[in-house]
Structure 1
Amino acid sequence: MGDLGDIQRSMARTILGQEADDSLLGAIKDDHLGPAARLRIHQNNFRESLSEALLGIFPLCQALVGELFLRQALRHFVLEYPPVDAALYAYGRDVANFFGIYSAAKSVPYLADVARLEWYTHELANAEEAAVYEDITAAQAAHEAGMGFALHDNARVLDSNFPIYDLWQALSGQITPDDLNIEDDGQTILLVLHGGQVFYQLLDAETAGTLAKLSGDQKDITIGSAMLEELIDRGAIKPK
């Protein structure tokens, strides 16, 4: 039997799809199943348990591409992006990026942004809600004094080349598929956690541009009083 550390590392590699080496096979009890069959059980349990957990985070993706396609895609994902910590609720951040390069998803290029929208929803729903900044007078004075603002902890912004807000409405049953034109211009969504619920707001180009600058930590941003009031009212910003 080999060194325990070597066996553990070999086990991890094998779970992720590599061939088992002799030291690992020799460490496994050889009965009627055999070492290789025992390892396949662990491989299958790893893929199925993680992909099943992820399936519940992305119901709109499932509505878009179907359960069979999504399950298969997530099985590939867990092998490419295995968990790096024990917090299962935080696992899945890279699904959107994975769909952006997943060859089987080339025919649905907007799948990545739908997954990103769902991840932001999941992330906010599991976050501790922070206090909302509401003092417009103080905000205006702070802005005039050169104080910077940043995207609020309760907020996320998704800027898409696709009509992502319309896609969200169609996939969640708020509009019919006939009302959706995927060839329409891109849209930007502001997601805000308020009262334990995530709300979705379609942003116009000016508001989206201002939030993009804030999110990018751009210096010397000038925000008019009306825009500042709107961003505070939306729950989108906080003082730095």
Structure 2
Amino acid sequence: MTDLLSLQRSFAQTILGQAPEEELLRAVKPGDLPPDARLRIHQNNFRESLSSALSGVFPLCEAFVGELFLKQALRHFALACPPNKAALFLYGANFPDFLRTYPAAESVPYLADVALLEWYTHALSNASEEAIFEDYAAAHAAIEEGTGLRLHGNARLLVSSFPVYDLWQVASGQLEPEALDISSRGGQVVLLVLHEGQVFYQSLEGPVADCLMRIEHGEALGLIEADLLKELIDRGAIKPR
């Protein structure tokens, strides 16, 4: 007699695409459909429910590749990376990484970074907003004392080799597609900041972008000019560790 745990494991494997084991087929109660067909219904429901839930998280991706492409990608993702926590709003964090190796997305190499921008937006929108940090003296002291700075809890930094900020503007209707030439436009650094329940996007370059990338990587900063430190704080990007 097969124990319950073995049946549960076999059922989970079947839901994720493996052929059902004989013990599981024998355990399925007879009905209008044969056991393997009844199991396929559960498999399809699993993929469709997860892909439908995630499609609302990645509307910009859909704008570039279409509903059918995104749905199929999410179905494959659901089987390759099933949820490991009973919290659906946490599910989907590794979808951008999945797209980087998804064969069908080879023709749209920027899609993974667009998905990452959307995931950061989703994560910030569902996070508890932290208090604004405005203590310039404390930030300066943290640098001098060597404790350092970190990204603010309300902030995320996206470093892309594609013009992901411009792509966001195209997908959201703020920039005409004809105005963007991906082949000649370089990469972009985008800062996302949650403020009063809304996520704002900032395209960064120069010392501001360089400094934030070093902070995110945990690198030693040395001295930071007062104006630069003030700008980082005013943008809502940093706070002491």
Q: TM-score, normalised by structure 1?
A: 0.97
Aligned runs of 1:70-109 on 2, under 5 Å?
A: 70-109=70-109
Q: What amino acid is the match of 2:65?
A: V
Compute the displacement of 1:31 (Å).
2.1
Give 1:42's aligned residue: 42
Cα pair 1:29 1:35 within 8 Å, conserved = yes
Aligned runs of 1:83-232 on 2, under 5 Å?
A: 83-183=83-183, 184-232=185-233
Aligned partners of 2:61 and 2:77: how far apart in 1?
14
Q: What amino acid is the match of 1:193?
A: L
Cα pair 2:120 2:156 within 8 Å, conserved = yes
SS at match of 1:192: strand
Compute the displacement of 1:132 (Å).
1.2
SS at match of 2:166: helix
Cα pair 1:124 1:193 within 8 Å, conserved = yes
Aligned partners of 1:128 and 1:152: how far apart in 2?
12
Q: Report the more deviating stretch, 229-238 or 135-144.
A: 135-144
Aligned partners of 1:228 and 1:147: how far apart in 2?
15
Cα pair 1:213 1:221 within 8 Å, conserved = no
**Could you tell me the percent identity over the aligned residues?**
59
Compute the displacement of 1:188 (Å).
0.4
How big is each residue's C-alpha offset from its partner over 1:17-49, in whole Å with a ceiling of 9 and x where there is no partner? 000001100110122211111101100000000
Aligned partners of 1:126 and 1:89: how far apart in 2?
8
Cα pair 1:157 1:188 within 8 Å, conserved = yes
Aligned partners of 1:2 and 1:125: how far apart in 2?
45
Aligned partners of 1:87 and 1:142: how far apart in 2?
36
Give 1:238's aligned residue: 239
Give 2:56's aligned residue: 56
Q: What amino acid is the match of 1:40?
A: R
State the number of aligned residues. 240
Compute the displacement of 1:220 (Å).
4.5
Change (3 A) 1:193 1:64: same
Cα pair 2:133 2:233 within 8 Å, conserved = yes
SS at match of 2:228: helix
SS at match of 1:112: helix
- Residue ranges of structure 2 left out of the alignment (5+ in a row): none
Cα pair 1:190 1:203 within 8 Å, conserved = yes
How big is each residue's C-alpha offset from its partner over 1:36-81, in whole Å with a ceiling of 9 and x where there is no partner? 1110110000000000000000000000100010001100000000
Would you identify which runs of 4 or more consecutive aligned residues in structure 1 move more than 6 Å?
Answer: none
Aligned partners of 1:40 and 1:26: how far apart in 2?
15
Q: What amino acid is the match of 2:222?
A: I
How big is each residue's C-alpha offset from its partner over 1:123-171, in whole Å with a ceiling of 9 and x where there is no partner? 0000000011102233224433333110111000001001111000000
Q: What amino acid is the match of 1:226?
A: D
Aligned partners of 1:221 and 1:196: how far apart in 2?
34
SS at match of 1:188: strand
Aligned Cα root-mean-square deviation (Å):
1.1
How big is each residue's C-alpha offset from its partner over 1:78-127, in whole Å with a ceiling of 9 and x where there is no partner? 00000001000000001100110000000000000000000000000000
- Residue ranges of structure 1 left out of the alignment (5+ in a row): none
SS at match of 1:158: strand
Q: What amino acid is the match of 2:52?
A: E
Cα pair 1:189 1:201 within 8 Å, conserved = yes
